[in-house]
Amino acid sequence: MRDRLILLPGWGLGTAALEPLAASLRALDAKLHVELMPLPELDGSDVPVWLDHLDRTLPTDTWLGGWSLGGMLAAELAARRGDHCCGLVTMGSNASFVARADWPHGMPTDTFNTFLDGCRSHTQVTLKRFKSLCSQGAQAPRSLARLLEVGVPATDPLYLATGLEVLRKLDTRAALSNFGGPQLHLFAGSDALVPVEAAKALFELLQDVEVGIVEDSAHAFLLEHAQALATFIKTFLHESGDD
């Protein structure tokens, strides 16, 4: 259904952070059905198993998208589904969240491993730190951090840790290159978690996709600039044949 967009959230914060964006999209286009789906809660971090779960759970022949980890999973699922995915929309999603030898535009491995250890041993402290990082670079970071507190689900620390392990493993470059449908990738210009260099590198890698940067915005820019992102997405969907 070309009038149906499925969005997956980022790590640790649930679907509530996507609600303002979904509301803005519905207000801009009454014909667009926007659905928010939670991330899997699985006790293992095998990426194909996560994708199998999403493939069973999410409807086919729709647009797929998501924020951060959710966008990375959507990219992998889009590549798996091929012609049965109308197109892909990601927000604040690095091709590889963790830096690699051939992709330096991610978080250093040691930093990520420290964060993962903190998630396992001091879950609430780590989540608080994560919300702060999501807000860093915003015009009003404290207000944005408070917004991120709203509607956060009580998630078992085991599932939070396995989600981070999946995030560490994911490298979506092959999936993005292999998916032939329309793609829109939106990035925050002052993101403390996904460097803006990742947006430029992604455009150089793919070239035939749309990449946009929202200047002076944080990783949680889907809350900070919901209306602007909704306008970007609506325009992209319509230009890609969603009329």
Annotated catalytic residues are: 68, 191, 219
- Contact present, 156 and 14 (Cβ < 8 Å): no
CA–CA distance, 239 with 243 (Å, rounded to integer): 8
CA–CA distance, 52 with 29 (Å, rounded to integer): 31
CA–CA distance, 133 with 81 (Å, rounded to integer): 33
The torsion angles phi and psi of 5, rounded to 5 degrees, stand at -120, 120
Helix (H) or strand (E) holding 66: strand 62-67
- Edge-to-edge order in the sheet of strand 62-67: 33-36, 4-8, 62-67, 85-91, 183-188, 210-214
